[in-house]
């Protein structure tokens, strides 16, 4: 399958078509009550060439379609071209691309356009999908990983190749949250500290170096962390105080500290954030504030800042227009989401494949409602496609 591989700022372009692969996985925020979660399904929209919508087809959709055969979905996460669903049973399902064992079912090569079980996982508490690797946080505080491993992103002390079944991340216990980025991974420990492993060219691991690591290493100087996120070379930590720190790539102001260019291999404070309560499921350079507003920063192409502009960048946080009651946020390749208190979903950014789910393929630089969904319990964005769990609106 792999005809060529080109490294560019932590991204991978793979295959004969040299398609850009971006990582967007992070801790999935399942907000369902037990009653709602029991009946929750999964939905996908946008690009679908590798079956990443999970509906048994390879046809794009600009509105949500049901992922085949799933119920009792607690949370979803989206990789570059594959999806994961955590079920109430504590097991995990996967669909889409499988060139590097992303489905975790002991196979690799052919994609699957319907969900298959990730092998050997039970009592899973959270999931995260990176470019083409997956993570599962177990209820005992340990972490399993599968998929591509060229940069040590599986964290098992090996580097190179891939694993098409889950393997144990070395030396981790007491983990409370996970995040998967562009060929690297993060974990939040019960001590309030953060560790990372995998790719590190732009300081994504935050340990003061640009050296890859195939086992977890401690992020420098972080304490009292309550949430983490990992994206395309940019990592984030939300502190107990409501303040926020970023580290990694900063070419377009992604660190949010009033600078632009280069990178930081240690965490730096994000400007003006004092009341943060949640970070995005996937993506980067976003935060949800205590009052329900959403702030965004970094690259602004295709309206991804959500503030009514379509280009440029911002090296400090700016408010997303018209969002005042958000309870969770998510990012994708160039799309962004806010889950509102009502249970409905708002989206903004790029939309060439219908990844905003509003029945069009037109970019939007302000939030627009995703069509066809009832009460949403989690949301995730991939490369030109998006996923959610929850209920559908009856026709």
Q: For 340-379, give the DSSP string.
A: ETTS-EEEEE--TTSTT-SS----EEEEEEPSSEEEEEEE
What pLDDT is recorded for position 258? Answer: 98
Cβ atoms within 10 Å of 270's Cβ, excluding its own: 25
What pLDDT is recorded for position 39? Answer: 58
Show the low-confidence residues of the chain (pLDDT under 50).
Answer: 1-38
What pLDDT is recorded for position 21? Answer: 30
Range of the domain at 73: 5-392
Q: Edge-to-edge strand order for the sheet containing 184-189?
A: 175-180, 184-189, 194-198, 213-218
What pLDDT is recorded for position 35? Answer: 34
What pLDDT is recorded for position 34? Answer: 31
DSSP β-ladder status, 143-148 and 133-138: antiparallel
What pLDDT is recorded for position 24? Answer: 35
User: Domain of 118: which CATH number?
Assistant: 2.130.10.30
Specify the 3-state DSSP secondary structure of 38. helix
Total structural domains in the chain?
1
Query: Is-contact 246 267, C-beta < 8 A?
Result: yes
């Amino acid at each position: 399958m792999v005809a060529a591989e080109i490294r560019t700022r932590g991204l991978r372009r793979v295959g004969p078509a040299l398609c850009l692969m971006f990582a967007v996985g992070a801790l999935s925020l399942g907000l369902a009550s037990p009653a709602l979660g029991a009946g929750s399904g999964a939905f996908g929209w946008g690009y679908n060439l590798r079956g990443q919508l999970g509906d048994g087809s390879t046809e794009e959709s600009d509105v949500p379609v049901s992922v085949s055969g799933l119920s009792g979905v607690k949370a979803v996460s989206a990789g570059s071209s594959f999806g994961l669903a955590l079920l109430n049973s504590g097991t995990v399902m996967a669909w889409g691309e499988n060139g590097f064992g992303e489905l975790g079912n002991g196979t690799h090569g052919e994609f699957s356009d319907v969900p298959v079980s990730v092998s050997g996982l039970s009592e899973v508490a959270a999931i995260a999908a990176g470019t083409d690797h997956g993570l599962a946080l177990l209820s005992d505080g340990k972490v399993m990983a599968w998929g591509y491993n060229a940069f040590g992103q599986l964290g098992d002390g090996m580097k190179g190749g891939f694993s098409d079944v889950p393997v144990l991340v070395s030396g981790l216990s007491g983990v409370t949250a996970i995040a998967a980025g562009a060929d690297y991974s993060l974990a939040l420990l019960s001590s309030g500290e953060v560790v990372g492993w995998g790719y590190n060219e732009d300081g994504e691991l935050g340990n003061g170096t640009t050296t890859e690591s195939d086992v977890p290493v401690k992020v420098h100087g972080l304490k009292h962390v309550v949430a983490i996120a990992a994206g395309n070379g940019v990592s984030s930590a939300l502190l107990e105080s409501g303040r926020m720190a970023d580290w990694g790539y900063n070419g377009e102001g992604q660190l949010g500290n009033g600078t632009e260019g280069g990178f930081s291999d240690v965490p730096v404070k994000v400007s003006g954030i004092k009341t943060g309560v949640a970070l995005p499921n996937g993506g980067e350079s976003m935060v949800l504030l205590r009052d329900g507003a959403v702030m965004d920063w970094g690259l602004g192409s295709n309206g991804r800042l959500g503030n009514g502009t379509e280009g440029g960048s911002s090296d400090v946080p700016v408010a997303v227009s018209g969002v005042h009651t958000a309870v969770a946020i998510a990012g994708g390749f160039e799309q962004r989401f806010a889950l509102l208190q009502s249970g409905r979903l708002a989206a903004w950014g790029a939309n060439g494949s219908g990844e905003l789910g509003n029945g069009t393929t037109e970019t939007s630089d302000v939030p627009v409602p995703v069509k066809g969904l009832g009460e949403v319990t989690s949301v995730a964005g991939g490369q030109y496609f998006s996923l959610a769990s929850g209920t559908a609106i009856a026709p």
